[in-house]
Structure 1
Amino acid sequence: MCGRYFIDDETSKEIKKILQQIDKKSASSEFGCRDIRPSDRAPVLTARKGAVDAEMIEWGFPGFQKKGLIINARSETVLEKPMFRDSVLNRRCILPASGYYEWSRDRTKYAFRPKNAGTLYMAGIYKLFDQGMRFVILTTAPNPSVQDIHDRMPLVLKRETAEAWLLDDSNVEALLAVRPEELDRSSDYEQMSLF
């Protein structure tokens, strides 16, 4: 499960660079460094008219009978679930992040980041609800760098396959089965300053 992720200065700059490439300079001030929690609005890469686009979308589908939030969907079963099937076929997204957090059974907080210290591209899906546009993060079985901390991890795509996730409908099933690369793990991640 992925219940919180973060964007540092380097990833924030990369998001702003993508925005400049798609001529969305006015929205770039919303894409700063911070922790992203369920129900927060976050920068999301989507596909619009055959090209990559970016917008702010709220994290979490409304729960059943409008109770709670559904923040993750299992990549292995997302095509079978009525709540997610149409979104995975037609409304895929990428959540750019510097890393994500996971807590162990003894409540130790771990930060997981790409080994190259670049941007993490988490696969997601989105959908329009009465309350507005919402996204969930797809999860998969953990790789060896995560498995002793948690039994799930985000479906992390390489930069080269992130665009295919957004734009190539014929590749969806193959990308849902991707095994993410190993990540760096630390338990001494310094809390980002709010000021």
Structure 2
Amino acid sequence: MCGRYTLEPEANETLKRLFDKANLRLEESAGVFPMPMKKIATGEIFPSDTILTLLGDKATENVGAYATRWGIRSKSLVINARAETLLEKVTFRPLFSRQRCVIPTNGFFEWQHGNKKNEKSTKYYFGLGRSTPLYLAGLYRVHEGELESVIITTASHPSISEVHDRMPLIIAQEDLRRWLFDDSFAQKQLQREMPSLMKDSLC
């Protein structure tokens, strides 16, 4: 799964540009549909935070930086969609065909739980280096005047699997537009092996 990640716009010129564009859009909308009211979160990002998200307009094939709320509100807050089963889910199947998105990050966290009772879990940070953006595949929807999003997860690469058996579905920077606009390409990404990532122990 993916339960936390980071956004540090100052660490990368591209992230800073996208962050500024999304915040400007928020200011211009002043909370009017379909933008959430809160400003985009930075640092360690938690479920329900307002997050930086790239959305594509299929009619024009324009890509824009927006703010969405991380999590789809249902009986509980749903923050992830499994790549292996999302096309079978009533909630996610229509979103995959029409409303895919990309969530720019610097990296994400996973926890390795101890085998013994009361043993402390170890927190790990995964990425390509904090100054290199990591783009996570997602889905979004409009609900009660707000944009909501989930992160797609898949089986872990061996560089992560000793810590957790799941990880976010990562899209290469050069493939962002194809993920957003090419349905056939996007479906193939659901089965793609993930890249190797660097790991830092944060304890």
| TM-score exceeds 0.5 | yes
Aligned to 2:45: 36
1:149-160 matches, within 5 Å, as 149-160=163-174
Residue aligning to 1:121? 135
* 2:65 corresponds to which of 23, 46, 54: 54
- State the distance in 2 between where 1:62 and 1:112 align: 27
* Aligned 1:83-98 pairs, distance under 5 A: 83-98=91-106
Confirm or deny: 8 A CA contact 2:122 2:202 kept in the other structure: no
* Aligned equivalents of 1:157, 1:50: Cα separation in 2: 18
One-letter code aligned to 1:37: F
Letter in 2 for 1:10: A
**Identical pairs, percent:** 36
Aligned to 1:10: 11
TM-score normalised per structure 1: 0.85
Residue 105 of structure 1: how far off its partner (Å): 1.1
**Which residue identity does 1:62 align to in structure 2?**
R
Unaligned runs of 5+ in 2: 28-38, 115-120
Aligned residue for 1:192?
none
Give the number of the structure whose alpha-carbon radius of gyration is greater. Answer: 2
Asked if 1 retains the 8 angstrom alpha-carbon contact of 2:140 and 2:147, the reply is: yes
Q: How does 1:40-189 map to 2 (within 5 A)?
A: 40-48=49-57, 49-63=60-74, 66=75, 68-106=76-114, 107-114=121-128, 117-130=131-144, 132-188=146-202
RMSD: 2.3
TM-superposed deviation, 1:153: 0.3
TM-aligned CA deviation for residue 162 of structure 1: 1.7
Moved over 2 A (4+): 15-20, 23-33
Alpha-carbon contact 1:51-1:167 (below 8 Å) kept:
no
Report if the CA contact (8 A) 1:125-1:138 is conserved: yes
Which 10-residue stretch deviates more, 145-154 or 108-117? 108-117
Aligned-pair CA distance for 1:10: 1.7
